[in-house]
Amino acid sequence: MAIDYSLYLVTDSTQAILGNKDLASVVEAAVEGGVTVVQYRDKESETASLIRMGKRLRAITKKHKVPLLINDHVGVAQAVDADGVHLGQEDMDLGTARRILGPDAIIGVTANNLSEAVVAASGGASYLGIGTVYATPTKENTKSIIGPAGVNNILHRLSTMDMTIPTVAIGGLNNSNVQRVMFQSKSPTKGLDGVAVVSAIIAAQDPKAAAFGLRSSIRKVPVSMSPKSGENQNVETLLSQIPRIVKELGVKSPLCHNMTNLVVQNFAANVALCIGASPIMANYGEEAKDLAGLGGALVVNMGTVKPDGLTNYIQAIRAYNEVSGPVLFDPVGAGATAVRRQSVKTLMSNGYFDLIKGNENEIATVLGENMVQQKGVDMGASTTDDSAKAQLVKKLAARERNVVLMTGKTDYLSDGERTYAIENGHDHLGNITGSGCTLGTTIAAVLAVHKGDKLLAALAGILMYEIAAEQAGKREDVKGPGTFVPAFLDQLYQIAQSASKDDSEWLQAAK
C-alpha cells in the first residue's frame, strides 16, 4: 500500500507542548485537518498508559484511514495493533524490529546524516525521518542542525545510489517555512515526500486549522522560488530588457531596506537615492514585519556581527520570506572568523535568500568549500581560475535555488543554469569602502521592481552600477578615490535619469 507521507504528525504529551489538552482530541482534530500519518511519541509515560492512549489513537486513525506508528516501543505497537514503529538511532535496531513486526509493518528510521540514511535505506526501512532541519525546543539535544542544504545533500546522494525510499524532514518546521524547506531541499532527482511536525500542530490553539494550513502550504511551491530556467538565454535578449527595468526603478521607487554595517550606511543610502529607490537603514528586526509589507527588498549585510545581530536578521528574513519579498544576502567576511562561519550557517538555515553576493572567498565559504583562512573582509589574491569560479557560483546557485553573484575583477553571475561573466567596473571601486555592499543595495532595489527573472534583475543592477563607475573613472575631474566617490554617485544618478527619458546609450558599454 502506498502511504501518503505529506503531513506527518509526531505527538508530544509534555505540558510545554500539549498543555492541558487531551492528546486524542488533538490528534483527531489534526487528522480531520489533513494529517496523513500519525506517530505516537511519548518519552515519559509507563507502558500501561502508552497502551491505553495507543488504543485510543488506533481507533481514531483507523476511522480516518491514516497509518499509526509508535515511537520506539515495538511491544506497544503490537499491543495496540499499530501499523508500525519509528526508530531513533538509539532505539531497537531495524533488523530486529523487522523480524518481530514482519515484512508488512511500516518501520521508519531517523537519519541525521548520509551514512545513517544509507544504512537504514539498505537495511529495509520503510521511510526516513531526516533532521534536525532547524533548531527546535521540542527536541533539545539533537545531534546536529542540518538545514535544507543538509537535507538536500542527503536526498541527492540517495538518488545517485538509486535509493528511492520515501523521506520526511523534521525539526522546527511550521507553516512559515515548510514550502521553502520542501523547495530548497529538493535535488534535481529526489524531493521530500513530506514534512514531520510536532509543535506546529500539537501546540497550536486550533490543531485542525494548523494541519489544514500546513497541508495547503505543502501542496504549493511559492512562485518567487521557482527557478526561471531556459528563458532569455541569449545575452542580447537579456540586455534589451534592461532599460525598461531601470526605468521602472524610478517609477516605482521601491523601498530598499538595508540591515548593513556601520561603515556603509550613509553611502548605501546615497546610492539608493541616486538610482531612484527609497532607502531605509533599519537593523532592528521588530520593524521588519511592517517594512516587508511595503513591497520593497531587504539587504542582509553581515559586515558587523554582534551577539544580538542574528536574531534581528532572522526576524527580518522571515518577514520578507513570508510575503515573498526579495532578500539579498551579503556574507561579508564569511570566512574570517568562526563566529562568521557559524552565522552564515545559521542564517542560511533560517530563511531563503533570493540572491547571495560575495567575493570569491565568501562564496566559497557559503558553499562550504573554502580551504583558505580569510584575513580581513577584503579579498586576498585569487587562487582559482575563471572556469573554477564560474563553477563555484553555478554550484551554489543550483544548490540554493537562487541567484549567486561573485564579485571581482570579473564578476560571475548564475542562477544554476545560466552563468555569465561581466567585465565592467573600475579599479577605484576597489579603492573605496562599501562598493561591494552598495552594489548589493542596488541589486536589491532592482529585485524589488523586477520579480520575474531574478538573474536579469541582478544583471541590470550590476551593469548600471559598474558602468557608472567606468564613466566616473574616465572623468577629468576624478583624480583618485576621493574625487571618484562623488563622480560615481553623479554618474549613477545620470544613468537612472537617462533611463527615465528612454535613453539607454549607457548600456552600450556592457561587456
Positions marked catalytic: 437
Burial environment of residue 265 by CB neighbours within 10 A (0 to 12, 13 to 18, 19 or more):
middle
User: Would you give the binding string for ligand 3NM spanning residues 8-47, x where CB under 6 A is met?
Assistant: --x-------------------------------------
Tell me the three cell numbers of residue 63. 476511522
| Rounded Cα distance, 365 and 377, in Å | 13
The minimum distance between CB 93 and ligand 3NM, in angstroms, equals 17
76/279 Cα distance (integer angstroms): 60
Residue 491: all three cell numbers together = 554618474
42 binds Mg ion (CB under 5 A): no
Q: Which residue is nearest to ligand 3NM (CB)?
A: 131
Residue 458 grid cell? 541582478
170 binds, among ligand 3NM, Mg ion, none (CB under 5 to 8 A by kind): ligand 3NM
Locus of grid cell 538545514: 147
**Residue 433 has which C-alpha cell?**
569602502
Among 28, 42, 72, 453, binds Mg ion (CB under 5 A): 72
Question: What does 72 bind: ligand 3NM, Mg ion, none (CB cut-off 5 to 8 Å by kind)?
Answer: Mg ion
Which range touches Mg ion (CB under 5 A), out of 69-77, 123-131, 337-345, 350-358? 69-77
Q: Is-contact 476 256, C-beta < 8 A? A: no
Secondary structure of 360-389 in HEC code, one letter for each residue = HHHHHHHHCCCCCCCCCCCCCCCCCCHHHH
Among 34, 172, 194, 440, binds ligand 3NM (CB under 6 A): 172
- Contact between 154 and ligand 3NM by CB under 6 A: the answer reads no
Q: Torsion over CA of 394, 402, 373 and 465, rounded to 10 degrees? A: 90
* Binding-site member from 11, 13, 61, 142 for ligand 3NM (CB under 6 A): 142
Cell numbers at 153, concatenated: 545533500
- Binding residue for ligand 3NM (CB under 6 A) from 108, 131, 213, 285? 131
- The burial class, CB within 10 Å (0-12 / 13-18 / 19+), for 103 is exposed
Using CB positions, name the residue nearest to Mg ion: 88
From the list ligand 3NM, Mg ion, none, pick the one residue 132 interacts with, judged by a Cβ distance below 5 to 8 Å according to partner type.
ligand 3NM
CA pair distance 375, 498, nearest whole angstrom: 41
Q: CB 258 → Mg ion: shortest distance, Å?
A: 45
- Would you count residue 88 as binding Mg ion (CB under 5 A)? yes
Q: Does 350 bind ligand 3NM (CB under 6 A)?
A: no
Q: How far, in Å, CA of 362 to CA of 392, rounded?
A: 11
Q: And the C-alpha cell for 483?
A: 574625487
Answer with the entry of ligand 3NM, Mg ion, none that 18 interacts with (C-beta below 5 to 8 A by kind). Answer: none
The residue within the footprint of ligand 3NM, chosen from 6, 13, 61, 132 (CB under 6 A), is 132
The amino acid at 261: N
List residues near ligand 3NM by CB under 6 A: 10, 110, 129, 131-132, 136, 138-139, 142, 170-173, 197-200
List residues near Mg ion by CB under 5 A: 72, 88, 91
